[in-house]
């Protein structure tokens, strides 16, 4: 009997070894899958610290209400999400409600509401076991003006504009029939930037992916329209743009899109990039009625004769100190031509892109060219780092307007132009303010007065009753 027990225990030990090994493999597989979900969801772009520390928080997200600073979402138990249960984590990601209170929709939970249960689970395992804890809080916390600092108000906003159900994992997994839709609508949350918002800062679903202003930049129309959208792009154009941030003869990624390429899209596998491209080709076409040809259709440059640039240089101290020129041609020659060439054709390999056949210069929107001149461009790809210097500290607003207008008139849409005041507005980040923001102070004062009147009226009624 003793020998039988020993043999049984030995057999049990051997039998359990593969199960333990399998559990370890499953956890490792989950962590790897969760990392891919995190990349596809672009978590790094917002939650990476200013010093490059993953998930440490501190990144400033521009909004009409003010800057919203991303929080620490590392598994730190003191400063991050290390104490959250999976249910609490899912509620924060999908519903915008964390153990610490309501989140602002700068966290795209309205899109993540569709995240499948399988992806939520994998993401949670990765965040808790695959990410290094960062035991410090971001140096700056979100501090919006009243009434936007009252996070409980988000409960009402969520009732009106949030919600949604998880998508079917069987259809949204790699190779699934809805994979492209899932990537565009949920994980990559493209509509967060590319769909215009209403007066209450909620997405206008009836104008899905038709383009929107975002922190001075304009996220373009990416519906299937061949003029205003990406209908004139080939499948390979789209895949190259998503992977590298550049589609030769079409467009280059800048601003938030450059960040999406750097932190998210370049890490997706070929099948997922193709799925995104294929789905975008099915999005109903919406055209801007003011646009009659695609932005990249302007291909005939009209550069000034090169002889006009070849002028004697005045090297006197007074001339060298003069940085006030607002001659667009001179400014272009001095600041832009070394990369984009005098005729605007860029370099042969298009590392420095052509300014013709370019949606930034040939479309109907002027903001993106001005923002690129002001703030530059930076994006890392799988092969190199693309960088254009920022000229915000080198050129004043009148000079930036002049060089932008020179580019428009000589290489792009000659009907476009910008004023010094428009440049000032973009530099200061004081663009279009939605009704929610402009009316908030008045509504707040009215609300306070209303509450005071109720309190005073109640006290008056109570006093009268007491006297009676």
Q: What is the mean pLDDT of residues 395-420?
A: 96
Spatial separation of the C-alpha atoms in residues 169 and 179, rounded to whole Å: 9
Query: In this predicted structure, what is the pLDDT of residue 139?
Result: 87
pLDDT digits (tens, 9 = 90+) for 54-82: 999 988 887 777 888 899 999 999 999 99
Contact of 208 with 111, CB cutoff 8 Å: no
* 386-409: average pLDDT: 96
* DSSP type of residue 336: T
pLDDT in tens, 312-344: 555 555 544 456 788 999 999 989 999 999 999
At 160, give phi and psi (nearest 5°): -85, -35
Give the residue ranges of the annotated binding site for heme c: 43, 46-47, 190, 193-194, 336, 339-340
Paired sense of beta strands 97-98 and 68-69, if any: unpaired
Q: Within 10 A of 125 (CB to CB), how many other CB atoms are there?
A: 21
d(Cα 354, Cα 299) in Å, to the nearest integer? 10
**Stated pTM of the model:** 0.85
Give 344's contacts (C-beta < 8 A, 6+ positions apart): 301, 303, 354, 355, 356, 407, 410, 411
Token duo for residue 320: 């060298």
Looking at residue 144, its pLDDT comes to 86
pLDDT-derived band at 142 (thresholds 50, 70, 90) equals: confident
CA 233 to chain CA centroid, Å, is 22
Q: What's residue 15's pLDDT? A: 37
Query: What does the pLDDT average to over 197-225?
Result: 94
Mind listing the pLDDT tens digit for each residue in 344-361?
A: 999 999 999 999 999 999
With 80 as the cut, is the pLDDT of residue 299 above it? yes
Q: Pick out the residues of the known binding site.
A: 43, 46-47, 190, 193-194, 336, 339-340
Examine the pLDDT at 268 and tell me if it is beyond 80. Answer: yes
Report d(CA 426, CA 310) in Å as an integer. 33
């Amino acid at each position: 009997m003793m020998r039988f027990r020993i043999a049984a225990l030995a057999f049990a030990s051997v039998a359990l070894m593969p199960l333990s090994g399998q559990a370890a493999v499953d956890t490792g597989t989950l962590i790897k899958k969760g990392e891919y979900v995190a990349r596809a969801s672009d978590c790094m772009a917002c939650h990476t610290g200013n010093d490059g520390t993953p998930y440490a928080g501190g990144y400033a997200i521009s909004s009409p209400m003010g800057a919203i600073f991303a929080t620490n979402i590392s598994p730190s138990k003191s400063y991050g999400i290390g104490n959250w249960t999976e249910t609490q984590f899912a509620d924060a990601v999908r519903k915008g409600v964390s153990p610490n209170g309501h989140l602002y929709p700068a966290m795209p939970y309205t899109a993540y509401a569709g995240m499948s249960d399988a992806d939520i689970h994998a993401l949670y395992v990765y965040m808790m076991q695959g990410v290094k804890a960062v035991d410090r809080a971001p140096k700056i916390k979100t501090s919006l003006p009243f009434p936007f600092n009252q996070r409980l108000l988000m409960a009402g906003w969520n009732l009106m504009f949030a919600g949604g159900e998880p998508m079917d994992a069987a259809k949204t997994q790699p190779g699934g029939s809805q994979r492209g839709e899932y990537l565009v609508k949920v994980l990559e949350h493209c509509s967060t930037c590319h769909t215009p918002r209403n007066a209450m800062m909620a997405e206008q679903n009836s104008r899905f992916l038709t383009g929107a202003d975002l922190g001075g930049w304009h996220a373009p129309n990416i519906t299937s329209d061949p003029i205003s959208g990406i209908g004139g792009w080939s499948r390979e154009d789209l895949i190259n743009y998503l992977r590298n941030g550049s589609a030769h003869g079409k467009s280059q990624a800048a601003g938030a899109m450059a960040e999406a390429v750097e932190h998210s899209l370049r890490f997706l596998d070929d099948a997922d990039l193709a799925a995104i491209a294929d789905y975008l080709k099915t999005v109903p076409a919406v055209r801007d009625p003011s646009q009659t040809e695609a932005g990249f259709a302007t291909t005939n440059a009209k550069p000034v004769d090169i002889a006009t640039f070849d002028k004697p240089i005045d090297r006197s101290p007074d001339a060298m100190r003069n940085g006030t020129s607002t001659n667009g041609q001179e400014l272009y020659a001095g600041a832009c031509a070394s990369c984009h060439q005098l005729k605007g054709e860029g370099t042969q390999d298009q590392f420095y892109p052509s300014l013709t056949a370019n949606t930034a210069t040939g479309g109907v929107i002027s903001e993106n060219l001005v923002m690129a001149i002001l703030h530059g461009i930076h994006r890392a790809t799988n092969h190199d780092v693309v960088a254009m210097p920022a000229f915000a500290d080198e050129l004043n607003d009148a000079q930036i307007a002049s060089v932008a207008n020179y580019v428009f008139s000589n290489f792009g849409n000659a009907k476009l132009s910008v004023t010094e005041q428009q440049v000032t507005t973009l530099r200061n980040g004081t663009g279009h303010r939605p009704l929610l923001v402009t009316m908030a102070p008045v509504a707040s004062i009215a609300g306070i007065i209303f509450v005071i009147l109720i309190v005073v009226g109640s006290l008056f009624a109570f006093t009268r009753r007491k006297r009676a």
